[in-house]
A and B are shown apart, each in its own frame.
Chain A
Amino acid sequence: EAGVAQSPRYKIIEKRQSVAFWCNPISGHATLYWYQQILGQGPKLLIQFQNNGVVDDSQLPKDRFSAERLKGVDSTLKIQPAKLEDSAVYLCASSLASGGPRDTQYFGPGTRLTVL
């Protein structure tokens, strides 16, 4: 079974530029998560989708970050414009069902973003 795919693996941009990340979850997984992991910290949830609807985006900086999952499968996360403090690894995860406590989240390898 293929895991969660993410691209690109690495991205370097200058501040005020835009960037987009792509995630393909495990086939059949209804719930998709985007996390931000700053160096030396644990992952922090940015947004959670159930199929193509947003369940939780309370920690998404909506003035510059946006995410979509139009057909309930792939998802993109965009930052526009980027700031230095956005340098981090962006992790995508998916899970099978409703996102309840025993619903295991499977993580992709992440996209490492460096903002200069």
Chain B
Amino acid sequence: GEDVEQSLFLSVREGDSSVINCTYTDSSSTYLYWYKQEPGAGLQLLTYIFSNMDMKQDQRLTVLLNKKDKHLSLRIADTQTGDSAIYFCAESLRDGGATNKLIFGTGTLLAVQP
């Protein structure tokens, strides 16, 4: 089945690290994504990881993938107030064709306290 789960809320202090977690169910996922959604705005792609990778680092962002446990995490180093937003993980499912069907999680609201 297709199901992506995330914790609903995370609160951190400015300058600390944030870790947002996600679990997915479909082992055939090829790519996993992290999107950011600020109030009143669309989704912005932050980063993605191919399913045969364990880790990907991009400036302040580190993505860890545990394929055995179907667990994905996003670590934000030196979290800033501008990082306050809802973060969605998403898995892409191949349906035998060229389409990239994204299944999104419920989102994690990150609140950064100054």
Indicate, yes or no, whether A interacts with B.
Answer: yes
Q: Using Cβ atoms and an 8 Å threshold, which residues of chain B touch A4?
A: 42
Instruction: For the complex, give the distance between the alpha carbons of A5 and B102 in Å.
Output: 21
User: DSSP class of A's interface residues: helix, strand, loop or mixed?
Assistant: loop
Count A/B pairs, Cβ under 8 Å: 62
User: Would B107 and A108 count as touching, CB distance under 8 A?
Assistant: no
Interface string of B93-112 (1 = CB under 8 A from A): 01101111110111100000
Number of interface residues of B (CB under 8 A): 26
User: Would A55 and B42 count as touching, CB distance under 8 A?
Assistant: no
Interface presence of A61 (CB below 8 A): no
The verdict on A100 contacting B104 (CB below 8 Å), with A4-B42, A110-B42 known, is no
Can you spell out 29 A-B residue pairs with CB atoms less than 8 angstroms apart?
A3-B42, A42-B4, A42-B90, A42-B105, A42-B106, A42-B107, A43-B104, A48-B99, A55-B99, A56-B95, A91-B42, A91-B43, A93-B43, A98-B98, A99-B98, A100-B100, A101-B30, A101-B50, A101-B92, A101-B94, A101-B100, A105-B43, A105-B45, A105-B100, A107-B43, A107-B44, A108-B42, A109-B40, A109-B41
